Amino acid sequence: MSQITAKTPWKDHMGDLPMHLDYFEGSMFEMLEAVARRYPNHIAFDFMGKSTTYKALVQQVEICAKALRTIGIREGDKVTIALPNCPQAIYLFYAVNLIGGIANMIHPLSAEKEIEFYLNESGSVTAITLDQFYHKFERVRKSTKVVNIIIASIKDALSTPIKAGYMLTEGRKIEKIPSDAPVIRWREFMRLSRCCFYNYKVKRAAEDPAVILYSGGTTGTNKGIILTNKNFNALSQQVIASNPMFRPGDKMLAAMPVFHGFGLGVCIHTMLTQGGRCILVPRFTPKSYAKDLVKHRCNFIAGVPTLYEALLRLPNMEGADLSCLKGVFSGGDSLSVELKKKLDRFLYDHKATIQVREGYGTTETVTACCLTPSHMHKTGSIGLPFPDTYIKIVEPGTENELPYGEEGEILLAGPTVMKEYMHHPEETARTLVNHADGLTWVCTGDLGTMDSEGFVYFKGRAKRMIVSSGYNIYPAQLENILDAHEAVQMSCVIGVPDPYKMQKVKAFVKLAAGVEPTEETRQLLLEHCRKHIARYAIPYDIEFREELPKTLVGKVAYRLLEEEERNKLLLPR
């Protein structure tokens, strides 16, 4: 192993963390079951005022597993779960694992064509979704291999008094499902467990496939990523090893979605296999997120930068006591230096004794595989690799490691590395590369540097790189500069096709409260850019927006802005 590869320097900095962890060798359910035996009466999760213990959680998972077996799910079958963060999603996720199936996790708000793609790509034989999304699934059903559609409802997981209120408000908005619809209702589904008496548990190994998550990968084309029991279980142990302040019973605000590696891997599986307590949030706004954080006195929260940026501006956070917080994690997108400063000040002003910690990872490694230590921070760094995780910076497309401080492609190796891209062997071969050091590396396509202490610095995603007149320009760097101006709340920088330069730089800006979108403001920002940005990288235009488009997981949707600009070029003049 080269001296310039970072391998888990946690022991050097933390003192009491091991360089190597002994990983659980069973399935995800078995890891959950083990902690439930240890803490049967601890609360596993809270959902809209109703608490569920670990003992009750395992009982519900086993009932759900028997029901799945009754409707014909067998070892290796794919089951699509299209649910928000609700109890049914938790039961199904572990029940599918218990009977040897593979959970295909998708966003319930996906468009019909996307749902059809996910069902066919995975070859799912059963799909579970909420009543409000039934009609989308039914319209694409005939074009898939799906045999059974199971319909859950938020009301089924509520306590009686809250259920009445829900039906008078949110429940009234849901389009009725025909009484003769070819579906299995949740309660009917769970009752089917009575028809299964034995032989429903399937022994699965650590390396067996367990979950499918979706990502654009390095090419931007949507692909199913097959992840194993070991991938998720190792992540759970790594996260806790990197957070020695965690104690069983600590509360995590589980608002990040269950179909995303960050939400599923960190907020749910890590907590539930380590004795933590999840506050399940099926749908949230920054305002409701803040309310749940304060109400439940959460110890850990995780979110994307856009969520935290919105949190800073909420009037209902004035005077809030956040001394309960042990960990605040930011991931999913780059956290600008300026936003981190604002967040740290916000936490300090609200009695928290910690700072926000930035993580980095890819869905190809479930989620985060790198995290800022709790006791030290380096400006602009995304932290240190998790235990047993290697990160190296190489000359793109080669095995040649670069010296400290020199920018190159970020490569990852460790126990959370995916099994493969489903149905894409060529892309798998390009992304998972065996090097002479004997490790299998994920070629991320992301750019970064490493310092002599092993701290990693994210510089930008290669696929977002703008090439203008032969110069390489990285949007994330320009966004950091724009975001640092007091008139800017948030920015997004893209490349616009240009016949002469190939691409030219354009910035979209959401202004801070009270700042008018005038020509004077535009010139002020351009002058700011001229002071901090090389001439070839200065935006040719700054367009003001009241809101910047977001992806389903809350990132700024720069691809939508790129598409808008391309479409403008196609319009007749």
212-267 pLDDT, tens digit each: 999 865 555 679 999 999 999 999 999 999 999 999 999 999 999 999 999 999 99
Mean pLDDT (the chain, rounded):
90
Q: Are 372 and 363 in contact (CB under 8 A)?
A: no
Give the ranges where 126-220 is alpha helix by DSSP (H).
134-141, 160-168, 186-191
180 by Cβ neighbours in 10 Å (0-12 / 13-18 / 19+) ranks as: exposed
Confidence of residue 318 (pLDDT cuts 50, 70, 90): confident
Strand duo 390-394 + 6-7: pairing = antiparallel
pLDDT tens-digit map of 517-536: 999 999 999 999 988 887 88
Helix, strand, coil percentages (3-state) for the chain, rounded to 5, are: 35, 25, 40
Q: Which residues sit opposite 359 in a β-bridge?
A: 371
Task: Name the CATH superfamily, with its identifier, for domain 28-38+51-204.
Answer: ANL, N-terminal domain (3.40.50.12780)
Q: Which has more confidence, 393 or 2?
A: 393
**Which residues lie closer than 8 Å to 70 by C-beta, 6 or more apart?**
192, 193, 195, 196
pLDDT in tens, 49-65: 899 999 999 999 999 99
99: region left, alpha or beta (phi > 0 left; psi from -120 to 50 alpha): alpha
Q: Which of 39, 28, 161, 169 is nearest to 103 (CA)?
A: 28
pLDDT tens for residues 67-111?
999 999 999 999 999 999 999 999 999 999 999 999 999 989 888
Instruction: Return the higher-pLDDT residue of 460 and 177.
Output: 177
C-alpha closest to that of 380 among 449, 433, 446? 449
Query: Does pLDDT of 168 surpass 70?
Result: no
Q: Determine whether domain 465-570 maps to CATH 3.30.300.30.
A: yes
- Which DSSP category does 120 fall into? H
> Average pLDDT in the 394-399 region?
91
Q: Does 28-38+51-204 match 6-23+213-460 at the fold level?
A: yes
Provide the sign of the torsion angle of the four alpha carbons 360, 363, 369, 374, taken in this order: positive
Which residue from 234, 530, 503, 257 is spatially nearest to 387, judged by alpha carbons? 234
Q: Are 8 and 386 in contact (CB under 8 A)?
A: yes
Per-residue CA distances from 106 to 115, 127, 257, 336 (Å): 8, 10, 10, 29
Q: Which among 390, 299, 308, 384 has a CA at the least distance from the CA of 341?
A: 308
Q: What does CATH list as the number for 6-23+213-460? A: 3.40.50.12780
Alpha-carbon gap, residue 365 to 550, rounded angstroms = 23
Q: According to the model, what pLDDT value does residue 304 have?
A: 85
Helix runs in 219-377, H state only: 229-241, 261, 271-272, 286-296, 305-311, 337-349
Longest dimension (CA), the chain: 74
What are the boundaries of each domain within the chain? 6-23+213-460, 28-38+51-204, 465-570
Most confident of the following: 158-162, 270-274, 462-466: 270-274
